[in-house]
Structure 1
Amino acid sequence: MLQMVLLHQSPGSHLQPLASSLKTTQKSSSVAAAPLPHKQVLPAPRFCSCGRRHFVEAATAAFLPVCFSNASSLHSDDYLGLLNRIHPPRPDWYEEFYASVMDSYMKSYEAEVAGYKSQLFGELRGKAKTVLEIGVGTGPNLEYYADNSEVQVFGVDPNRKMEKYARAAAAAVGLPPKNFHFVEAVAEAVPLDDASVDAVVGTLVLCSVKDVNMALKEVKRVLKPGGLFLFVEHVAAKDGTILKLLQSALDPLQQIVADGCHLTRETGKYISAAGFSSLELSMTSLSNAPCSLISPHVYGVACN
């Protein structure tokens, strides 16, 4: 049961190293040695009432491109209400337990996907000075920004207990405190201005958001024209397979024990239909995922 709790990075990580670029992937079923999966290049087609969340109001005032999400008419009370509705309050002990487990248990997963991440985040070098990461969780991706002294990373997560782990991760990899801003929020309602960031990153988060389409609309809204969306997500297995049957049977339980994580989401289809100007989407299956239930993955880069 505990293993199931750890299947995703909190709502907020690709896989075997890519070849020379994202444009030359081949099909793969493991991370270590096989060629990479085939990539399709597709045409354009957000707790309590005690006040802990009110820190968002003060914190966002200090951020460079930040305002309350979606429109200037959305007041802080509206934002907090929306945040509470999308991510209802969890007990402190649960959020702390979940954060601590994610911090320790996902290390093997991160080691397996490090090659993919290195190549995907390479797409941001020289292009992104302001990055939003939805579902930042305990900060496993922060190491990929550490070599950019100019980057400003806004890490969004609804679990406030993730912050101390994310800040520790930033310090461990040499990312200056002034370069990392933690915001307690959800992907469906991001407190950033329209067209305010160069890139958005989401790894193991769209499996857990309440409304995938709403989250992707927020991604597109905050991205500048030509901005990039980097993603890595576990997804549903192919129809008719034993794995898909197992995912379907265990999905209701998974959502309860894993903070809303879905095993059967076809996240690639959501991203494909979101209206990005271009999309490079790859599929693979991890051989050493923390649980075989999440071995199917999609990953790639979309351009706004």
Structure 2
Amino acid sequence: MTLAVVALQLVVCTLALPMFLLNLLGLWNWVCKKSFAYCMQWFTVIYNEYMASRKQKHFSNLQEFAGPSGKLSLLEVGCGTGANFKFYPPGCRVTCIDPNPNFEKYLFKSVAENQQLQFERFVVAAGENMHQVADGSVDVVVSTLVLCSVKNQDRILREVCRVLRPGGAYYFWEHVADEPSTWNYFWQQVMNPVWFLAFDGCNVTRESWKALERAGFSKLQLQHMQAPLPLSLVRPHIYGIAVK
């Protein structure tokens, strides 16, 4: 990390000092969990306005991974407000997991708006420990904008592999670090300490594709893109499908 990055980090962190003091006193986590869930109900709507056509295409072949019954069993990890529900095929059986219980009321609003789905349950748990979901019990696992904030990427991907049936698929969609030679990457490094605290553990400097490459999937289709978003820090994305 360059001296310029460190110096600017210090400036930015000083400006955000009240937030860091609340965190030191143990109060920020409670405030952040509630406010983050509230803000995400609006952010996800705006995000989908920019990304809807791309996400629609990404999820267009979900039904191909349905089991012998023809009904798709889908687990969404880090479900948030249920913003992905409208991209899932009719009749899909959906289980959701998220560590933030404050998402529940927004999630059930999405359930009511997407009655073409068969919603099964909402589990409050971290993706790194999904013991409530049986081994090999789902056809598809989905996570969008999740690997940026989990505590251990390798562990959550092991859990994804565990709960997927053989031949099942993991659909991922994540913002990631930009190319190291870019100014955007420079500012990602500068802003990351405050961003991490403000957005409930989200990192803008993670190279999440590396964790996916070492996760041991039998097949990995992974693409990079610059998302058409107004905020440059989160424009670099990866997306794809990994098959168990």
Equivalent residue, structure 2, for 1:184: 124
Structure 1 CA distance for aligned equivalents of residues 99 and 141 of structure 2: 17
Matched, 1:106 2:44: yes
Equivalent residue, structure 1, for 2:221: 280
Matched, 1:123 2:70: no
Gaps in structure 2 of 5+ consecutive residues? 1-27, 67-71
Structure 2 CA distance for aligned equivalents of residues 264 and 292 of structure 1: 13
CA deviations over 1:128-177 (Å, ceiling 9, x no partner):
321111100011001122x422x22111101111011011012112245x
Structure 2 CA distance for aligned equivalents of residues 225 and 115 of structure 1: 30
Mapping for residues 1-304 of structure 1, pairs under 5 Å: 90-91=29-30, 93-128=31-66, 129-145=72-88, 147-149=89-91, 151-175=92-116, 179-190=119-130, 191-289=132-230, 291-304=231-244
Structure 2 CA distance for aligned equivalents of residues 112 and 279 of structure 1: 26
Structure 1 CA distance for aligned equivalents of residues 178 and 127 of structure 2: 24
Structure 2 CA distance for aligned equivalents of residues 299 and 215 of structure 1: 17
Gaps in structure 1 of 5+ consecutive residues? 1-88
> Cα offset for 1:126?
4.4
CA RMSD of aligned residues (A): 1.6
Aligned residue pairs total: 211
> Cα offset for 1:282?
0.8
Structure 1 CA distance for aligned equivalents of residues 128 and 161 of structure 2: 11
SS at match of 1:108: helix
> Cα offset for 1:269?
1.4
Structure 1 CA distance for aligned equivalents of residues 195 and 120 of structure 2: 31
Say if 2:76 and 2:96, in contact at 8 Å, map to a contact too. yes
User: How does the TM-score come out when normalised to structure 1?
Assistant: 0.66
SS at match of 1:179: strand
Equivalent residue, structure 2, for 1:40: none
> Cα offset for 1:201?
0.2
Equivalent residue, structure 2, for 1:57: none
Say if 1:143 and 1:170, in contact at 8 Å, map to a contact too. no
Structure 1 CA distance for aligned equivalents of residues 48 and 236 of structure 2: 15
Structure 2 CA distance for aligned equivalents of residues 256 and 105 of structure 1: 17
Structure 1 CA distance for aligned equivalents of residues 212 and 60 of structure 2: 21
> Cα offset for 1:213?
0.5
Equivalent residue, structure 1, for 2:6: none
Structure 1 CA distance for aligned equivalents of residues 133 and 43 of structure 2: 31
SS at match of 1:154: strand
Structure 2 CA distance for aligned equivalents of residues 137 and 157 of structure 1: 7
- Relative to structure 1, is the Cα distance of residues 94 and 239 closer, same or farther in structure 2, using a 3 angstrom cutoff? closer
> Cα offset for 1:105?
2.4
Deviates more, 1:229-238 or 1:111-120: 111-120
Structure 1 CA distance for aligned equivalents of residues 202 and 90 of structure 2: 32
Structure 2 CA distance for aligned equivalents of residues 105 and 223 of structure 1: 29
Corresponding letter in the other structure for 2:123: V
Say if 1:142 and 1:175, in contact at 8 Å, map to a contact too. no
| Greater relative CO (CA pairs within 8 A, separation 6+) | 1
SS at match of 1:171: helix
SS at match of 1:238: coil
Corresponding letter in the other structure for 2:77: I
